[in-house]
């Protein structure tokens, strides 16, 4: 597998987040992708269209847009908050989804994206993942459909140090990353 560059974003700011732990597992169990975990979500301010231009964007936002632009694909792990994705994640995606001056290009347009999610409930982020797919319809991003990585009852899948120990989930993550790499490869042809 070619070493494509992937920016991985967790929708949870929690220190012991299972979603961030899924991303760490993706770093460990993938065959050849260069996956970097984004840790700037906390610094992204609320979306403000008045500031959403190359001259006025907050530094953290400009940096995120630059990084999304530069990578070959995105990997997002989302928890489910009130049947949807966390506001912090949606807010960051909003900032990266625009080009009002029509001078910069749209960072998410046709960008290959893989989605996964963890939650301690029996539904395990299913509704959040569906909501996230819907967001990427408007941005015209290229989202991997299968396999779906749904770490329901997430507390049963990690050891005390936050290492993913559930073989089924590990296999699904490997399959998801393979599908992401194939998507990137096709996009480059």
Return residues touching ligand FMN (CB under 6 A): 12, 14, 17-19, 79-83, 118-121, 123, 154
Nearest approach in angstroms of CB 41 to ligand FMN is 12
Beta strands in 31-177 (DSSP E): 34-37, 73-77, 112-119, 142-143, 149-152
Shorter beta-carbon distance to ligand FMN: residue 131 or 143: 131
Distances (CA, A) of 59 to 89, 90, 135: 17, 18, 24
Shorter beta-carbon distance to ligand FMN: residue 98 or 129: 129
Q: Which residue has the tokens 């301010």?
A: 45
- Nearest one of 115, 113, 114, 118 to 164, comparing CA atoms: 118
Nearest approach in angstroms of CB 188 to ligand FMN is 32
Q: Tokens in use for 21?
A: 């732990």
Residues listed for the chain: 189
Shorter beta-carbon distance to ligand FMN: residue 77 or 184: 77
Nearest approach in angstroms of CB 84 to ligand FMN is 7
Nearest approach in angstroms of CB 85 to ligand FMN is 10
Shorter beta-carbon distance to ligand FMN: residue 14 or 182: 14
DSSP 50: G
**Residues linked to residue 20 through DSSP beta bridges, in sequence order:** none
């Amino acid at each position: 597998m070619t070493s494509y560059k992937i920016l991985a974003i967790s929708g949870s700011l929690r220190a012991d987040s299972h979603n961030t732990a899924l991303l760490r597992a993706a770093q460990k169990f993938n065959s050849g992708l260069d996956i970097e975990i984004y840790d700037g979500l906390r610094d992204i301010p609320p979306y403000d269209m008045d500031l959403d231009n190359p001259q006025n964007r907050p530094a953290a936002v400009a940096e995120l847009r630059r990084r999304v632009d530069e990578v070959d694909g995105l990997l997002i792990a989302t928890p489910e908050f009130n049947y949807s994705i966390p506001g912090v994640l949606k807010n960051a995606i909003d900032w990266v989804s625009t080009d009002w001056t029509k001078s910069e290009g749209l960072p998410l347009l046709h960008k290959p994206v893989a989605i996964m999610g963890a939650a301690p409930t029996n539904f395990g982020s299913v509704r959040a993942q569906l909501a996230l797919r819907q967001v990427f319809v408007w941005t015209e991003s290229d989202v991997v459909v299968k396999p779906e990585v749904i770490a329901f009852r997430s507390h049963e899948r990690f050891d005390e140090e936050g290492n993913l120990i559930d073989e089924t989930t590990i296999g699904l993550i490997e399959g998801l990353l393979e599908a992401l790499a194939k998507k990137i490869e096709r996009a480059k042809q």
